[in-house]
Amino acid sequence: MNTLHSAAGSGLDSLTLNGAVSATIGLVALLAAGLIWFFGNHTPRLVVLLVMTGMAGMVGTPLGKWVRHVVDWANEQTGKLTTRWTGAAVAGLLAIAAVYILVVRMKDRKVDNLTIGTAAVVPVAVATIPGPLGGAAFNVVTGITSVVGWAISQALGLA
């Protein structure tokens, strides 16, 4: 079981995700998402939930470490860009954009590779949104991934 909290510095190396999503459940969720996406494709919104849950479980693995480094690098680059344009860094801009894209595309029932990629980034990036908005987004992502992870563990008899 992992706990997501942001690191004190700019790096995201200490990120983990709250809830009952282990690396095993995450791997099962990603495998199921891949099978449904490539061979079933009858429930694309389920694939998005499975990818989010899978990545939440992968946060503590080498794959999760790589995603955290990519998110950290992207946040640094957007911080430099917004500092140059506005004089101040806008913290969490990448995560805010990712959450917005995911919510809009899910609402519009447009699930494609962009939606899947965004769903993979959101569980890691959401911890970089500052303030109460970040806390709320973090809690929503944690709740969603925990429920899906619990359902997978119950279905497989792992709990």
pLDDT band at residue 7 under the 50/70/90 scheme: very low
Between 127 and 150, the more confident residue is 150
pLDDT band at residue 101 under the 50/70/90 scheme: very high
d(CA 147, CA 62): 24
Residue recorded with tokens 């997978």: 152
pLDDT 10s digits, 48-93: 999 999 998 888 888 888 888 888 888 888 888 888 887 776 777 8
The domain segmentation of the chain, as residue ranges, is 23-156
Tokens standing for 102?
């995911």
State residue 50's pLDDT score: 94
d(CA 43, CA 45): 6
Full-prediction pTM beyond 0.85? no
pLDDT band at residue 5 under the 50/70/90 scheme: very low
Question: Which of 121, 151, 150 lies closest to 137, judged by CA?
Answer: 121
In this predicted structure, the answer to whether residue 131 has a pLDDT above a threshold of 50 is yes
d(CA 152, CA 93): 32
SS3 155: helix
State residue 159's pLDDT score: 62
State residue 32's pLDDT score: 92
